């Protein structure tokens, strides 16, 4: 296992899985510019390193992220990375899958970071909220439009307009969360999902994520026409031939990512 510890973020790579942990527990992992910059760098590493398949984003100390550090906001700091947005993530999520492992609170920008992830595993005591209106702000790091995509419109609007949170079970019921696990087990649950993803063909995984996101506003006829740009390279790849051979030979595939 390789690890890099900094003041605000811990990054670990193991067995094709990159784990990024916001490391400001005394501040409930409130986002800083330094942390955002480090997360952005880790996500760039994820996409550029052929040995990495998937990443997990978590917070230390029993909290995911309480949003923007308001004390630093008052001093003029914005935890926004050029080209990546808030938290080094929300405006440009990675091409490879990203799983949020949520313990405790995911508030404001913290919840908006969750909304930018592909899958979510939450501890049973986790809570998700967009309290910006209570602070005279607005959820402009993706929350205003991603929450209604991820949740029923009425639920999302209630969160946006009242600033009140929802709990993990409500999030699961509405499809925001993939799995709810015991408190303290979100990282382990996320790793289970990450391991299942990393066992699959890299080109196929990336193309599936890209097409699923890009096609949200397409009609069926548009999707069938446009999907070929994503799926033709997958079907023509060496990994496609390897997958068929491994199935026939009843062995584990040896993916090459090409």
Separation between Cα atoms, residue 210 and residue 77, nearest integer Å: 33
By C-alpha distance, which of 139, 135, 134, 83 is closest to 114? 139
- Catalytic site includes residue 164: no
**Spatial strand order in the sheet of 98-102:** 2-5, 9-14, 17-22, 54-59, 98-102, 119-123, 179-181
Q: Which one of the listed residues 12, 132, 158, 249 is annotated catalytic? A: 132
- Catalytic site includes residue 225: no
DSSP-derived 3-state class of residue 168: helix
Within 10 angstroms of residue 188's Cβ, the number of other Cβ atoms is: 12
Residue 243 CB partners (closer than 8 Å, separation 6+): 201, 253
Q: Which one of the listed residues 103, 112, 222, 225 is annotated catalytic? A: 112
Residues designated as active site: 112, 132
């Amino acid at each position: 296992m390789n690890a890099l510890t900094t003041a605000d973020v811990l990054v670990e790579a193991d067995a094709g899985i990159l784990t990024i942990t916001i490391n400001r527990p005394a501040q409930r992992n409130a986002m800083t510019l330094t942390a955002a910059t480090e997360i952005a760098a880790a996500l760039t590493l994820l996409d550029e390193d052929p040995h990495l398949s998937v990443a997990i984003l978590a917070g230390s100390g029993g909290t995911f992220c309480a949003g923007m550090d308001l004390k630093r906001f008052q001093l003029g700091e914005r935890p926004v990375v050029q080209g990546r947005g808030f938290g080094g993530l929300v405006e440009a999520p990675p091409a490879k899958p990203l799983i949020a492992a949520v313990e405790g609170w995911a508030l404001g920008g913290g919840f908006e970071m969750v909304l930018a992830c592909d899958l979510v595993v939450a501890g049973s005591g986790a809570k998700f909220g967009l309290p910006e209106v209570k602070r005279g702000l607005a959820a402009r790091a993706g929350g205003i439009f991603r929450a209604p995509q991820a949740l029923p419109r009425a639920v999302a609007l209630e969160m946006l307009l009242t600033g009140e949170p929802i709990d993990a079970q409500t999030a699961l019921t509405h499809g925001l969360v993939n799995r709810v696990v015991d408190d303290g087990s979100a990282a382990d649950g996320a790793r289970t999902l990450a391991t299942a993803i990393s066992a699959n063909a890299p080109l196929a995984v990336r193309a599936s994520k890209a097409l699923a996101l890009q096609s949200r506003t397409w009609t069926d006829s548009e999707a069938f026409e446009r999907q070929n740009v994503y799926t033709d390279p997958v079907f023509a790849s060496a990994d496609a031939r390897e997958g068929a051979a491994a199935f026939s030979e009843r062995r584990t595939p040896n993916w090459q990512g090409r």
